[in-house]
Structure 1
C-alpha cells in the first residue's frame, strides 16, 4: 500500500472526526463564525490543490492518443474529465476546471522549483516568497506563469486563477509580452480590489479585447454572423421563440424592455414625482417579471407598428451609449478606405502579408456598448453614432471624458452617461451589478461644499442601490487620487475601487503600448 495513500486515509479520519456539527457551529459568535469560515476555506483550498494535481495527472494518462491504454478508457470512460467526475462526484464543468487548475500548479512547480536553494543548505520547507508583483514579474516561463505561481502560494484562489487564465486565453504569436504585462496588472487589481472570480474573468476578457483589437473585431463580426430568430409551436399551443443576438442587436432589443421594467428588475431609484408614482405602480403589479417582460415586448412591437412611442417612454427615450477612445476612432477611419479595397479583392493596402480570401483585413479598432464585456468594431461604432438611438462618449488617454461640471445638485444626463461608461457598473469591491442597476454617488457630498456647488464627472461614481445605501449608513467615503478611487471604510485600511468598463481596459492597453 502506498505511503501517500495511507497518509491521505489517516488525514481523512482525523479531519472528519474534528469537523464541528451544526450545533457546534451555531454556538459561535459572529467574529468566530467569520474566522471558522476562513479556516475551513483554507482547508478546502489545500485539499482542492491536491485533487487538482491528481486531476491533471489522470487527464494526462487518459489522453486520446493513448487509445484503449488510457487510464479513463480502461475504466470505461471516454476521457479524464468523465473519469474524474465519477471518482469525485462532481459536475463535468468542475472536473474540467480541476484539470486546468492542476495544470497551472504543475506549471508553478516548473517555474519555481522548491529545490532552488541547493541540496546541502536547503531547509525542510523553503521560505515563503514575498507577495509582490515584482516577484511574480521575475518568475521564469510563459506569459501565464505568474498566475500559476500566485495560485501555488494562495495569492489567488483556484477560481480566480482559472477565471483569469480563461478570460485572457492564449495570445496570438507576438502578443505574449503584452499578455504577461496584463496578467500582472490584473493580479495587482485583484489584490487591491477584492475581485470575485467572475469579475476577474470579465476584466480579463475586456483586457484581452483591448490588447488584441484586431482579433476582437473579428470576433465581433463572428458574433453578428451567428444571430438567429426561430419560432416553435408547442403541443400545448404556446409559441416558443429562440433568439440569439449579438451585443448591438441585444442593446436595441432588450435595452428598452429593461428600461421600462427597471423598478421590478432592481434598477436605480427615481427622483421625479411622476417617475416615483409610475415605479410604485409597476412594483405593485401582480404579474410576474416574466409576464411583464412578455407583455412589454408585445406592447413595444404594437407601438412600433402604430408609430406611437412617445406616450410609452415619455421623457426617457431609450438610448445606447457607445464608449470609444480617440485612438480606436483613428483606426476605424483609417480602415474604412482599406476595407473598401479589401472587400473588392484588393489586398495591397492590408497590413501584413495578403493571401487573397485568407486576408483578415485592416485593424478596425474596437468600442464597447453599455454593460457589455464583448467589444464591437469601431467602424460599427462610427455607423451607429449616426443613429438617434446611440450616444457616443469619447475618452482621452487619461481615461476621463470631457469635464461636464454644472452649477446644480444632480448630474446631467450627459454626465451620467459619461460616469456610466467610465465605471462600467457598481464600483464597490466584489459587486458585479451592471450600470442599469446602479446609482450616481457624489464622492464630495454636494451639501457640504457650498462654495463649489458643482456636480462634476470626476467626483461621481456608480454604486448599486444596496452599496450606495451601505456607504451612507456607515459613513464611509470615497476619495479620488488623480484618476483612481479609494474606499475609506471606518476602521479598515483604504481599498482601491476598480472599473468594470471595457473602455478603461482599452485605455490601459493603449498606455502599455506607448
Structure 2
C-alpha cells in the first residue's frame, strides 16, 4: 500500500493521495468546487495539479519499469511477450485503459528517467538526472519533463553529456521558477515565475539550436524530401488530403490566417450606423472552417491574378456542368471536372454567379450542336470599379480583403439581372456560398449597395449603406461633421 501523502488544506478541500484504497476502488474525495470563492478555487486548481504531478511520477516510474522488463532483447521472456502483448505500450494500454499516445509518452519519459544498470551490475544515473529528481519529487509535470528530454535527446550524441547537462539544469530551473541571486552568496536561489510546459518546449528548442547550430541542416534536408501536399479520397461530400509543410511555408500560411481571422481586426470597417444597428454577426464557423475559407479565397485570387500558369493558352478554369432541365427546375446535381462527388445546385449557382456561364447544347447522340459565348463574366475593368466602391466583402464584420472576394450578381441572371457594376457586389467565398440561407439581404440603390441584417441578429430591419471603401467613409464622415 502506498504511503499517504497529506496535502495542505484549502477551505472546503480535504484530500490526500495514497493509502485510501478500498476494496471497491479509491475513496471519493469530499470536494464541492461550486461553493468555493474565486481565490480558493484557483488555489485548489494548483493543489490538484500538484497532486497529479505526484501521481504522474509514479505512473512514469511504473511505465519505465514495464518497458525495461519488456525490452526487445529479452525475446519471448519479456514481460509483454509472456502476457501475450506485442509491445510494452500495448500491455500498458490494456492494464491502464489509457490511450496509446498517453502510454507512449509515459514509456518514453519513464525509460529516459529510469536509472541504468552497467554490465557489472552497478547502478548508473538516469540519462537526465535533474529531470528525474524533479519528477520524482512531484514538482515537475510530465509535459514539461517531456519537453526537456525531447528537446535535448536529439543533440546529446553530437555535443556530449556535459553541455546537455548544463542545459538540463537551466531548463529545470526555468520550469520550477528558480533563479540564482547575484547579489548574495554563490549558489543562492530565489523563487521566480515558473514557465509553462509550452514555454519550456520553446526554450528547449532554443537550447538545442545553441548547442548544435549545425544540427538543423540535416533535419532540413530530410524535411525537403518529405514535404508534400497530397489529395486524398472523396468521401461524404469532402475531398480529404494531407500536407507536410516546410516551416517557412507554414509560417506564411499562419500570418495570412492571422491577418484574416484575428479578432483584433474585427469591426474596423464598420460604419457607425452598422455598428449600432446591424452589429457584426458572431462567426459561427470553427477555426478550421475559417482557415478552409481563407484558403478558398487565396486559391481564387491566384487563379484570376494573371500570374498563374495557363492551361491550353487560357487561365486555369474549373469546369462545372449541369443539364438545362435541372438548372430550370432547381432540382438535381451538377458535376465538377476531375471530381467524382456530385455538387448541389447551390454550388452550381455560386460558380455561375462568380465565374460566368457558357451554354453548350449536346444532342441525344452526344454531339455538340451549339456552343454559345461565355456570359455573365465581369470584366477586369468592372471588377476594379466595384473594388473601389465596395472596399471588400460587404457583409459587416467580414475582414476578407477586396482582392480575395468574388463578385455576386444582386439580381440573378435568371431574373433578368445584368452583368453590370450596378448589379455586382463583393462577397467573400463563404458569404457568397451562404447568401441564400444566411438571411442577409442585399439590394442596389442607384448603383450603390445596401444591406439588411437577418432577423436572428435582432437588427432594426432597415436598409443600410454597405461597403468599406475608405474614400466613401471619409466623405460620409466629412458630411456628418459639416
TM class by smaller structure: 0.3 to 0.5
Instruction: Answer 1 or 2: which has greater strand percent.
Output: 2
Instruction: Answer 1 or 2: which has greater helix percent.
Output: 1
Pair member with larger Rg: 2
TM-score, normalisation: structure 1? 0.45
